[in-house]
Structure 1
Amino acid sequence: MKLRGSIGEKSFDVFNIILLLAVSLAAMIPILHVIAGAFSSSQAIIENKVSIWPVNVTLENFGIVANTASFWNALWMTIKILLIGTSLNMFLTILTSYPLSRSYLRGRKTIFLLIIFTMIFQAPMIPMYLVVKSFGMINTIWSVIIPGAISAFNLMLCVTFFRSVPEELFDAARVDGMGEYRVVWNIVVPLSKPIIMTLLLFYAVGHWNSYIGPLIYLNDKSMQTLQLYVYALISRGRSNDLLGATSSEAAMTLLPEALEMATIVLATAPIVIIYPFIQKYFIQGATLGSVKE
């Protein structure tokens, strides 16, 4: 039976809905403006006709960006870091989370305290750079992968989820002669698809949006990631290089801001497109295991 709320509770709900809608709209307006500018003609942008809807729709801006070799080099470097880094992240997180989720592990509480310590006190930038440099990882993809190989927050989420797996399944597996590694890959991993997909999203988005790490460790221009490429394009006026790659007639009709907006849309689109397909797993992974009976 649905209980009727008081007038105060209904008023509070209405206020919350209006407030959240206003905040959501305020957050969406800049995003819609960038998307609209990417699909609009330069003349419409110059005349300030573009708000949140494209004017004089054109794909010319995307065509110029797609014909730039430096964009594809940056995209490939980002994809390579994402694939290798996310695979290593998930492998180490699962192998570390499983033993920490078992109550019979000796020193488990001490290890948890050390993990929480790293969440509160993070290594300073200069000592971290010196450590990475001492291992000869500067200007390699390992410099942006190894230092963050395991996220303490994601590790805690995974441990909490693994604790919710019934202990009887592990006992039955051991009776059948399974070792601990087979228990992890044949039982724990198949039953933990929600949390695995959630952590995959967290790690993948982290690598895709990574900026500070590549800025510090990747000094070679040929190893520039997509986020560094977008930053250079906007802050250093590199959009003129894109115009220089076009014919003189086309360059006169294009606006650098339009190319910048098109690049931002292309750099953001992959993650936005992938998210709806794993949204259900993300919601399950964020809620399951968070409440214990």
Structure 2
Amino acid sequence: MATATDTGTRTLVSRVQLNRPHGRVIYWSALVLTLVIFTLVFLGPLYMMVTGGLKTTQEAIQDPPTYYPHHVAASTYQTAWTQLNLAKLLLNTLLYAFGALFFQLILDISAAYAFSKLRPALGNVLLGAMLSTLMIPAMVLIVPQYITAISLPFIHVNLLNTPWAIWIPGVASAFNIYLLKRFFDSIPQELLDAASIDGAGPLRTLWSIVLPMSRPIVSVVSIFALVAVWKDFLWPLLVEPDPTKQTLNAGIYSLSQGVPENVLIAASAISAAPTILFFLFFQRNIMAGLTAGSLKG
């Protein structure tokens, strides 16, 4: 029985090799070394950013850099918060992020539901064309998007210095629509047919049956939408020229003239903290939503 189990389970290192003394030492040494290297690669920049905000100005610009603050200046974070008006920039970012989330959920859920369950004519062609846009680099779209924001087609409205300049370009996300469609595909059609027999229309079916079952993937899409606005830099800098209306990243850059290096590093750490905490709190939802709907049956 043991032999059948060992041969039936395919792994990088066989169980027989793992039970040998040298094999076990090599395995655990390689595992620990890999974990340490990846930890340093991913957490090293975050550590340098956080500790850089605790250094004095002279130490922050020192070359070669120090690996820890020799003279801790904890007041640097308070200075960054007040001098760069991070409270205002944070409120702006929250407004743009949750506004984009609201409009994106309405459009993306509707589009994914139509592609998955309503099956419109040429739906696969439209979905393929939409997914093909993922192959276009985002930088290529900056100029046409900016021209569109200056003069919105048909109504010729200038969206600069308004939240709509950030909300509208991010409304339709091909990646999020694809994620939602894949999850909706896993919902049994029998449930929708039963709702239709009971007299429920497509909108009632979406609201009462599909959405309650889709909370994991909706959570993931929501997180992606929020993080996309939060980490964006170039687009908010272009369409929100007024520093008082910019997001955290763009506002820190616009207000950085004459600001000491350690204060800028502290401001960058403050701007990165919400997304890191957001992921730590909702990482289980992210993993569950990404795997939900991947298997049928």
TM-score (norm 2): 0.81
- 2:128 pairs with 1:145: no
* Alpha-carbon separation, structure 2, partners of 1:17 and 1:114: 45
Q: 2:83 aligns with which of 53, 64, 68?
A: 68
Q: 1:185 aligns with which of 183, 207, 213?
A: 207
- 2:43 pairs with 1:28: yes
Secondary structure of 2:170's counterpart equals coil
1:21 Cα deviation after fit? 3.3
Residues 54 and 181 (structure 1), Cα distance of their counterparts in 2 relative to 1, 3 Å cut:
farther
- 2:162 pairs with 1:132: no
Residues 16 and 220 (structure 1), Cα distance of their counterparts in 2 relative to 1, 3 Å cut:
same
Indicate the percent of aligned positions where both proteins have the same amino acid: 26
* Alpha-carbon separation, structure 2, partners of 1:147 and 1:203: 12
Letter in 2 for 1:107: L
1:74–1:226: 8 Å Cα contact kept in structure 2?
Answer: yes
* Alpha-carbon separation, structure 1, partners of 2:244 and 2:60: 32
Matches within 5 A, 1:1-293: 3=6, 4-5=14-15, 7=17, 15=30, 18-42=33-57, 45=60, 51-68=66-83, 70-102=85-117, 104-121=119-136, 124-135=141-152, 136-233=158-255, 237-239=257-259, 256-293=260-297
Letter in 1 for 2:198: D
Residues 101 and 51 (structure 1), Cα distance of their counterparts in 2 relative to 1, 3 Å cut:
farther
CA deviation vs aligned residue, 1:54-106 (integer Å, no higher than 9, x gap): 54444311221222363333222111101111111112111111111126433
* Alpha-carbon separation, structure 2, partners of 1:75 and 1:216: 18
* Alpha-carbon separation, structure 2, partners of 1:47 and 1:116: 47
Structure 1 range deviating more: 78-87 or 111-120: 111-120
TM-score (norm 1): 0.82
1:195 Cα deviation after fit? 0.6
* Alpha-carbon separation, structure 2, partners of 1:60 and 1:270: 20
* Alpha-carbon separation, structure 2, partners of 1:18 and 1:168: 51
1:36–1:53: 8 Å Cα contact kept in structure 2?
Answer: yes
2:243–2:255: 8 Å Cα contact kept in structure 1?
Answer: no
* Alpha-carbon RMSD: 2.9
* Alpha-carbon separation, structure 1, partners of 2:131 and 2:240: 29
1:271 Cα deviation after fit? 1.4
1:32 Cα deviation after fit? 0.3
Letter in 2 for 1:90: L
Residues 118 and 47 (structure 1), Cα distance of their counterparts in 2 relative to 1, 3 Å cut:
closer
Residues 51 and 144 (structure 1), Cα distance of their counterparts in 2 relative to 1, 3 Å cut:
same
Residue number in structure 2 paired with 1:247: none
1:210 Cα deviation after fit? 1.1
Residues 25 and 154 (structure 1), Cα distance of their counterparts in 2 relative to 1, 3 Å cut:
same
Residue number in structure 1 paired with 2:9: none
* Alpha-carbon separation, structure 2, partners of 1:238 and 1:87: 37
1:128 Cα deviation after fit? 2.4
Structure 1 range deviating more: 137-146 or 203-212: 137-146
Letter in 2 for 1:95: S
Structure 1: state its 5+ residue gaps: 240-255
